[in-house]
Amino acid sequence: MGQVLDSIIQHAEEIRAAAPEGESLMRLPDTTAKHLRDSGIVRMFQPREFGGLECHPREAAETVMALAALDGAAGWVAGIVGVHPWELAFFDPRAQEDIWGPDNDMWMASPYAPMGVAVPVEGGYILNGRWSFSSGTDHCGWVMIGAAVGDKAGNRTDRVLHVVLPRADSRIDHDSWNVIGLRGTGSKDLIVTDAFLPEYRTLDAEIVLGGNGWRHAGRDETLYRFPFSCLFPLGITSSLIGMTEGALACYIAAQKQRVQVTGVPIKEDPYVLFALSEAASEISAARTALLETVDRFWDKTDRGEEVGFEERASGRRTQISAAWRAVRAMDEVFARAGGAAVHLRTPMQRFWRDAHVGLTHAIHVPGTTYHSAALAQLGGDPQGPYRAMI
């Protein structure tokens, strides 16, 4: 096991026990956030020169899965916030120094969706907008968000930037997050009003999305040449699979001594045993498929070979399929868990709710990605939105 996973396991019972508090607070409990910060889970993709670990993406994925099996919200936050140091490595060194110089454990919230507008002014931009779904934002000192470049009148253009700004330049709408699942992620709205962005704290989004961040920054480490379209979804889907593993573990623990109303112990019911085995194998297969793609892409990148569009599209299809496969399997055991599973005092229902809400993330929507993967395999050339996040 890696050092980060060791630290998570060391505090497993505390993290698991604090999860209901996170549901109530609608953010990670301070104790959980401290355990994650101390473990270094958000520094797994961070450059070594700023105290980062530069881990293999597989190690990061397995660590997020293990954390999410304890507390789905904690795994979700770690998976999302943990990718931002990877992208910050492509920014101007001055931006990196601004954020990591004072504290190399600094966390950055998101999202990347260009919900705001950055209007050019001398030396940079003036940023305005409102961004939804900023996971973990209560525990982040900076934000990394997407913004459309505006013209002089403030109208959007087609150019999109990724920008970083201190939390003091934004306001959290604490009433914007009251949901049925992933409550503990605190994925609240951020509001920015007339914040000045120096040019060096911005990066053209296409540089990252097009796979040229490493060239732009002059980095040649395998980690930073790794495809964005595999790395960014990895933390999110890993947390989702971890939630289903947590639900499965809860089911198994609860069923060992359970006797059905018919008087037949669960362990003697061949139909339940079949369903349990099938669900467990499906969740395991989802994990294996996701990690196999990561390993294959890593090995190819490490050899200096490009991972082409068709292969990236296939990898995204596998990632999406793994998420849906794991959640469907979890549903099969939840439906056989008995009435006790629906009580709010039991953790299984929280994993079930968290996983279903996690499945609604845009990174898990099959439509255009499945279309593009199949079309590319048939010799077609997907364009426009069909290339998005691939």
Specify the length of the chain in residues: 390
CATH of domain 106-205: 2.40.110.10
Q: Report the C-alpha gap between 136 and 30 in whole angstroms.
A: 11
Query: H/E element holding 124?
Result: strand 124-134
Q: Which of 123-132, 148-157, 372-381 has the lowest mean pLDDT?
A: 148-157
The Cβ-side half-sphere exposure at 183, using a 13 Å CA radius, reads 19
Domain 226-387 has CATH 3.40.50.300: no
If you compute the radius of gyration of the chain from its CA atoms, what whole number of angstroms results?
Answer: 21
Q: Report the C-alpha gap between 310 and 316 in whole angstroms.
A: 10
Q: Report the C-alpha gap between 174 and 170 in whole angstroms.
A: 12
Q: Which tokens in the block code for residue 66?
A: 């293990």
**pLDDT at residue 125 above 90?**
yes
- Residue 117: strand pairing partners: 128, 148
Tens-digit pLDDT profile for residues 80-113:
999 999 999 999 999 999 999 999 999 999 999 9
Query: H/E element holding 97?
Result: helix 93-100
DSSP 8-class letter at 105: T
Q: CATH class for domain 3-90?
A: mainly alpha
Domain assignments of the chain as residue spans, ordered by start: 3-90, 106-205, 226-387
The amino acid occupying position 95 is A
* Residue matched to tokens 């936050």: 77
Tens-digit pLDDT profile for residues 151-197:
988 889 999 999 999 999 999 999 999 999 999 999 999 999 999 99
The amino acid occupying position 117 is V
